[in-house]
Amino acid sequence: MKYPINRLASVIVLLYTGTAAAQTPVYDLEQLQRSGFSFSIAPLIQGSSDIDGGGSYSMSSLLIRISATKPVSTRTFVGFGISYGITKYDFENPSAFNGQQPWNDIRSLNFSLPVVFRTDNNWTFVATPSIGTFQEVDADWRDSLTYGAILIGSYNFERGNRIGIGLGAFDRLDETALFPFLSVKWQLTDNLRIGNALNAGPTGPAGLQLAYRFSEKWEAAIGFSRRSFRFRLDDTGLAPGGIGTQDGRLLFLRLSTNLTPTMHLDLHAGINHDGNLILENNENTPVASADYEAVPLLALNLSGRF
């Protein structure tokens, strides 16, 4: 794929969180144990990526999330999260889909209810059930439900270190998704740590990142993860009432800073690779699919607490 380096600056994305669910990031379980409200705002623009067989596609998105956490005892915390995302796709002469746009605007609305329980022997257990809709704008939301849960058990060591195992289990529009993942936050040195990278939820596991803190305000990291988005289509187009899927693997660099004691900004630059687009009919039978070329990414995520 020919993709001039100077176009990298025109691509602003949140690493495929445009249709991601409102799951609590497993790299910040500590946040679930602090009472209060939090939010995040994530604009997204992805540049054009070539599709096998001819043609290309691009996308833009905005994801907004609000959550709240409250202790109900000295060891138990409960929370609530809601997110809304809108993603716009633009296809140009995609031969694999008969030269037509297989889907247009996709929206997501997701609710989650995380529960955290700490034992007196250094174990922390997290259960985050969620339910939401992933759909083309005019699709029936009752046919677009995705639901399931993230379960995590981790052991807490000194210096705030912890390591554990997580499991995601979701019903994603007539498809069962099961994935284990490592839940970890480990301080290797005073400034270097390893931890999870993204949110775990219906769109995939959390990935890992290696982070280095330069100062109280600045941190840099390198990481990887994979994402898989599955959504219901409306009653028009190539597959009326069918299902669209976008998969991809992410490699990224991150630069983060604390704008204020309660506001945080993340900037990412990376590559989405090994991706594919799949179109299924309303009987869940694939009717068309195509791989897309690796595409550079830049990302922005503004978050805060109050």
15-41: per-residue pLDDT in tens? Answer: 333 333 333 445 456 666 667 899 999
> Residue 145 pLDDT more than 90?
yes
pLDDT of residue 135: 96
Range of the domain at 12: 5-70+79-106+187-305
**46 found inside a domain:** yes
140 occurs within a structural domain: no
Contact 299, 266 (CB under 8 A): yes
pLDDT at residue 16, as a whole number = 35
CA distance 97 to 88: 18
Residue 262 included in any domain: yes
Once rounded to an integer, what is the mean pLDDT over residues 227-245?
93
Decide if 231 is inside a domain: yes
Is residue 134 one of the residues assigned to a domain?
no
Per-residue pLDDT at 15: 34
Band of residue 303 on the pLDDT scale cut at 50, 70, 90? very high
Q: What is the pLDDT of residue 36?
A: 84
pLDDT tens digits, one per residue of 248-298: 998 898 999 999 999 999 988 888 888 999 999 999 899 999 999 988 877
The total number of structural domains that make up the chain: 1
Q: What are phi and psi of 6, to 5 degrees?
A: -70, -10
Q: Is residue 137 part of a domain?
A: no
pLDDT-derived band at 10, boundaries 50, 70, 90 = very low
Q: Is residue 195 part of a domain?
A: yes
Is residue 259 within 8 A of residue 265, CB to CB? The reply is yes
User: Could you report the per-residue pLDDT of 197-230, keeping only the tens digit for each?
Assistant: 877 888 888 889 999 999 989 999 999 988 888 9
Q: Quick one: pLDDT at residue 18?
A: 35
Q: What is the pLDDT of residue 23?
A: 39
Contact 284, 258 (CB under 8 A): no
- How confident is the prediction for the chain on average, in pLDDT? 86
Task: Tell me the CA distances in angstroms from 204 to 19, 59, 227, one per residue in order.
Answer: 12, 20, 5
47 confidence band (pLDDT: 50, 70, 90): confident
Q: Which long-range contacts (CB under 8 A, 24 or more apart) does 141-150 make?
A: 143/173, 143/232, 143/241, 144/173, 144/231, 144/232, 145/173, 146/21, 146/110, 146/170, 146/171, 146/172, 146/173, 146/202, 146/230, 147/171, 148/172, 148/177, 148/202, 150/23, 150/26, 150/126, 150/200, 150/201
- At position 276, the amino acid (one-letter code) is N
The distance from CA 162 to its chain's CA centroid, rounded to whole angstroms, is: 22
The answer to whether 182 touches 168, Cβ cutoff 8 Å, is no
The whole-number average pLDDT for the span 95-112 is 94
pLDDT tens track for 157-178:
988 899 999 999 999 998 999 9
- Residue 101 inside a domain? The answer is yes
